[in-house]
Structure 1
């Protein structure tokens, strides 16, 4: 009991001393000292930019370059926070997160848009673009303008198209050089009706899986193969779970950069100009360098000898095109005659 009383007395004495001698109430009433490092933080504009690929890919590097340009040209007034590898949202829920304002910018593959905007299927048609210049003309011409304008109906700002490269197919069963090789195989695809029809024409079944789940599903043999660019195949180590890659160039994988419309409208005119100029410079940069990156990753996979690379002959490529013809006929009713006609014009120009 005496011990308890002693402890209580000690605590009371400490509190009394602190109250009367330890605090200078006059100092406590003074305003906090100014910290110049905090200046401007309340006015800083933060753009959360979420994407699902690795940083060492065309899109990953473009996102970082864009963020750096915006930071520099706004003198730190705008900060772009880049979240790669699906760390915030995967490719199945990032659009909803953008719409809800949880993030301000995304750059999904154009193949992720057709479920909401059917006309976007035109970009997924097999062998749509014979050359890289044809892709550029599609993105910067009437096709691209028409597609970006469609987004306004959903209160989403379409900023620009970013480039990656031509898609190739991989398999852990056998080389895929003729359509018959796809019979009774199971492929991971992006959620585009045209891509689904493409694999159906080849005789394969499909599953629409998030990109960041592809490796795991290859590892457990739920899927036999997938289609993607060399940069994505290498950066996600998909080649480690595949025995064969066919350089088919059967489709082009590009991205559309989207921003939350309300957020965009709230930006000052000065900040909008900074963002647009940085976006334009980044787009030109990734268009030039994406080809180099994909070629470099393809060479690296060949050196590592983890996957056997096959090239289509002219005869085999023509057989693929013939097999895909019904896909065009089916898509034309959805995409519309105008966009299909513009696509045919590009094909005639660059074949």
Structure 2
């Protein structure tokens, strides 16, 4: 009896000794982003924080810093290199100088709908793009949505491609967007996002392209006469991690990060879709109430005419140092 009891106690002691200890806060992950917590990106970052801490039982302490509390997007990539911050979700345009191939998402009418877009991002083409970013000293994790862009004007309704001729449209810095508007005879004007409202109000520019959520929150619809629902281009973000921080994580924790980011990505896409629909409805309410804005829904034939007019720019970006023929044709062929 005594011998048996002794063996049992020893086994219990060994079990206690060999059981791995959970060290809470063993790794600190600072997630910096530039938007408010109630946006799709902000809510998804908070979801990621909660989920990763659950999955790792607190071994990774995720600290989310919204609203540019730590860094603006134009500075965060350098901060990631220095491991001053461990995670961020900049817009594609911020990667322009290091991975110009991300301009794939600027190409007009490349994606049939959100389902097709996500198939591209989650498939071979998306992985190639992430690998290009990772080869530059980051760990590229996932694509997050803003949404599709629409066209607006204060001059005339944009129904046919010819309607854009001669009009001045604000664009962000992008060779693709320049070519897009030149293809329909329009005049692209690079302008900071913060100046677009006053530019439209004062007639410095005639129109712009943006997502419904950007149009509504910045009140562009209040200084435009026509809004055409084109879904012609896409705005999104790439979630990236510090290469140094990623390498410091044991494989088991890296796997937990992948699970958490995949779940957060699905949530972010849902949040973005909800916000886009909600704010488009608010734009429609404004249009009905004031009569100051006409919203144009293109027919399939009209949309095809726009696609035909602007898709002729695709071969201009077949060079692998621009976007690459394989990526463009790969996206088109994705089902």
What TM-score bracket applies, with the shorter chain setting the length?
0.7 to 0.9
Describe how 1:295-310 pairs up with structure 2 within 5 A.
Answer: 295-305=277-287, 307-310=293-296
State the TM-score, normalized to the length of structure 1.
0.76
Q: CA deviation at 1:222?
A: 3.8
Contact 1:163–1:254, Cα closer than 8 Å, also in 2: yes
Corresponding residue number in structure 2 for 1:317: 303
8 Å Cα contact 2:109-2:311 kept in structure 1: no
- 1:27: which partner in 2? none
Q: Alignment length, in residue pairs?
A: 306
Normalization by structure 2: what TM-score?
0.80
* Partner Cα distance (2:222, 2:72) in 1: 22
Preserved CA contact (<8 Å) 2:147 2:272: yes
> Secondary structure of the equivalent of 1:159?
strand
Query: CA 1:220/1:325 → structure 2, altered by over 3 Å: closer, same or farther?
Result: same
Distance change >3 Å, CA 292–CA 41, structure 1 → 2: closer
2:47 is aligned with 1:47: no
8 Å Cα contact 1:91-1:211 kept in structure 2: no
C-alpha separation in 1, matches of 2:83 and 2:194? 23
Matched, 1:108 2:94: no
In the alignment, what sits opposite 1:34? Answer: none
Deviations 1:122-171 (A, max 9, x none): 22221111122211210111100100000122101101111232211122
Q: Which of 321, 327, 337 pairs up with 2:325?
A: 337
Larger radius of gyration: 1
Taking the aligned partners of 2:124 and 2:216, their CA distance within structure 1 comes to 33
- Give, in whole Å, the separation in 2 of the partners of 1:42 and 1:71: 9
Please state how far the C-alpha of 1:117 moved relative to its aligned partner.
Answer: 1.6
Q: Within 5 Å, which residues of 2 pair with 1:211-222? A: 211-222=193-204
Q: Does the CA contact (< 8 Å) of 2:32 and 2:65 recur in 1?
A: yes
The farther-off stretch of 244-253 and 92-101 is 92-101
Task: Answer yes or no: is 1:81 the counterpart of 2:81.
Answer: no
In 2, Cα distance between equivalents of 1:173 and 1:94: 38
